[in-house]
Amino acid sequence: MGSEPSARIETVLQEERVFEPSQFVRKEASISGIDHYLKIIDSAKAHPERFWQEEALKELHWFKPFESVLDWSNPPFARWFDGGKTNVSYNCLDRHINNGKGEKVAIIWEGEPGDVRRITYKELFEEVCKTANALKDLGIKKGDLVALYMPMVPEAAIAMLACARIGAPHSVVFGGFSSEALRDRLIDGQAKVVITADGGFRKDKIISLKDAVDTALEDNSCPTVKSVLVVKRTNESVSFNAGRDYWWHELIPSQSKECPAEHMDSEDRLFVLYTSGSTGKPKGVVHTTSGYNLWAHLTFKWIFDVQDNEVYWCTADVGWITGHSYIVYGPLSNGSTTFMYEGVPRPSKPGAFWEIIQKHKINIFYTAPTAIRAFMKSGRSIPDNYDLSSLRLLGTVGEPINPEAWMWYREVIGRDNCPIVDTWWQTETGGVMISPIPTAVSTKPGSATMPLPGIEVDVVNAEGESVETDQGGYLVIKRPWPGMMRTIHGNSKRFRETYWEYLKPRDGELVYFAGDGARRDKDGYYWIMGRVDDVINVSGHRLGTMEIESALVSHPFVAEAAVVGRPDELKGEAIVAFVTLESGKEFSEDLLIILKSHVVQEIGAIARPEEIRFTNALPKTRSGKIMRRLLRSLASGEEVKGDTSTLEDRNVLDELRK
């Protein structure tokens, strides 16, 4: 590995506050209290396969029941529910309509300029069928990959479900990524169609999505892409390429409102979603049909337990896994009402979220710690101006939440009245893995508490041995679960090496290594301590340091670059780059700006370095590895501690200190 991960595992402060589970008034709670919870945990532990079998039969619709629950004969490649036939869009739409819920609102959407749409299950079903038929007209067949590069509009969810309906895996690319990043993902996935919009509203600007698609496709650089379907959203003028580009509003409305759901095999791909790792280019995480559907469905039901009259809001973007599992698939598979918002809070609209909660009477609110910290900073007087009394449950996801932010969230937004669910998971896990069940598990500020039923986790050292209570170590998952990623698109070797062979296997058993450090306390509660690999988490967005380094060195003036995360009060981590220049090139303020925009162009605005430091040399070991640990200390203004004896040239450190 390129750096020394264990250096970052250190014990965090003890947190002694405990909050008792909440007793919601419920006719039928999905998990009604501690006894019920323990019963489920125990039965999942005693007979895991029977447990998953029962849940899969109870919670999903099957055109044909499965023959086996789990095939783990070729680890780390799992097969779940083999022999079964189902369809995720059927589970999200048809079965609710067949249950008399056709008139229930599936999606409430509020656009950035304040326009609102309410879409019932019946209407959503018809839109999905029409879009599915249009995709077929564009030549899309089962197994073909469809890419989405969309703003947060209902058409994004419609397109995802339409793909699922006809068995075309989707690959959603976050609209904030650059055309370069989009191109890489289109090429890697061999996408046949791109669904996009003329533009999207982002903060107070309009981003030109269609232009970015045009740039990505220039010079026939993605030869597999035959058509581009464009939603009209901002009325930007866009160039149109006849024979390749189609307007959504011209192609979709005339389609038939019926499109039978394809009978999919359990292990057929549902989607590919790219995420950053510690080496090389982003990897396409593959999720398949039944296992993913079951996991998104069950976790949503267990944790949020949304009642028929309730409105649930997750503030993520559909471009991330949180949007996939907890805006689209989890809520819709459960027949819930999911709220979707096109915008984000910002200085010009600081009360945007609270206004929405008041206006749409949101009951369950799920957001990221970075947003909470930003709200804290602008003061409680803003949320205090709104009626937030509809809220009954608050969730967080994406990064560790510090106890102060947790307490503020509880007191100011939840008025001491709403439990907080801190949910730990990843793109790779498909759904939440560690989280309190609000009716059953006491919470402690800053802890994601305990693994969900059926999930077995541990904290181990580099030898794969469990560490003692309160000792830091690597967080691992010890058994396969239905929502686990199946492989990396086109690179099963990397899948095995990154997740299953990073740590030494114990007794020949493969365990999944998540990339995070953690500690388990005396009550069995887990405290996530952040990434221990070369991945950084900036405002809940995951970025590979090497990805940013390659973006920097792709600039002709840059010889070498090393990127590290520096702790940041608001963003969690901020990106700091150390750069050496090609000989004959000079450091300058202008070059600094140029290099920052170069990274934005290569990856997207989320990867813009906060700081770039020019240096004559980078600290390296004798074998040529960059010593990121030293750079991390320098970037955070800490004293460089620990062993520096492997440093090849000690003068480098002295120079950097200056």
* Binding positions for ligand WT7, rule: CB under 6 A: 275, 320-322, 397-400, 422-427, 448, 514-516, 528, 530-531, 537, 542
Q: How far is it between the farthest Cα atoms of the chain?
A: 74
Q: Which is nearer to ligand WT7, 424 or 481 (CB)?
A: 424
Pull the structure tokens for residue 629.
């640990």
3-state helix, strand, coil split of the chain in percent (to 5) is 35, 25, 45
Shortest Å, Cβ 427 to ligand WT7: 3
State the nearest-atom distance from the C-beta of 112 to ligand WT7, in Å: 23
| Cα angle 390-396-397, degrees, rounded to a multiple of 5 | 145
Neighbours of 493 (CB within 10 A): 10
- Quote the least distance from Cβ 483 to ligand WT7, whole Å: 12
3-state secondary structure string across 91-127: HHHHHHHHCCCCCCEEEEEECCCCCEEEEEHHHHHHH
In this complex, which beta carbon is closest to ligand WT7, that of residue 117 or of residue 478?
478
Distance CA 114, CA 109 (A): 10
Q: With respect to ligand WT7, which residue has the nearer C-beta, 245 or 399?
A: 399
Q: How far is the CB of 449 from ligand WT7 (least distance, A)?
A: 10
Bridge partners, residue 396, by sequence: 367, 422
Q: Which residue is nearest to ligand WT7 (CB)?
A: 427
By beta-carbon proximity to ligand WT7, the closer residue of 261 and 272 is: 272
Shortest Å, Cβ 537 to ligand WT7: 6
Cα-Cα-Cα-Cα torsion 203, 204, 205, 207, nearest 10 degrees, comes to 30
User: What CA–CA distance (Å, rounded) separates 129 from 319?
Assistant: 22
**Cβ distance to ligand WT7 smaller for residue 56 or 528:** 528
- By beta-carbon proximity to ligand WT7, the closer residue of 9 and 213 is 9
To ligand WT7, the closest distance from the beta carbon of 319 in angstroms equals 11
The residues, ordered by sequence, that sit 6+ positions from 444 with a Cβ below 8 Å of its Cβ are: 15, 16, 17, 18, 19, 525
Which residue lies nearer to ligand WT7 by CB, 48 or 515? Answer: 515
Of 183 and 324, nearer to ligand WT7 (C-beta) is 324
Token couple for 364: 């369950």
Nearer to ligand WT7 by Cβ, of 112 and 422: the residue is 422
Nearest distance in Å: CB 509, ligand WT7: 22
CB of 513 to ligand WT7, least distance (A): 10
Backbone angles phi, psi at 27, to 5 degrees: -70, -50
Kindly give the pairing relationship between strand 393-397 and strand 420-423.
parallel
In 161-237, DSSP assigns E strands to 170-172, 193-197, 200-202, 205-207, 227-231
Backbone φ, ψ for residue 530 (5° rounding): 95, 175
Closest approach, Cβ 293 to ligand WT7, in A, equals 18
Nearer to ligand WT7, 422 or 547 (CB): 422
Could you tell me which residues are beta bridge partners of residue 341? 110
d(CA 25, CA 186): 48
Three-class SS of residue 575? Answer: strand
Q: For residues 148 and 448, which CB has a smaller minimum distance to ligand WT7 in the complex?
A: 448
Ramachandran angles phi, psi of 348, nearest 5°: -75, -15
Non-local (6+) Cβ contacts of 115 within 8 A are none
Give least dist CB 322 to ligand WT7, A: 4
Contact assessment for residue 444 and residue 18, using Cβ atoms and an 8 Å cutoff: yes
Shortest distance in whole angstroms from residue 96 CB to ligand WT7: 26
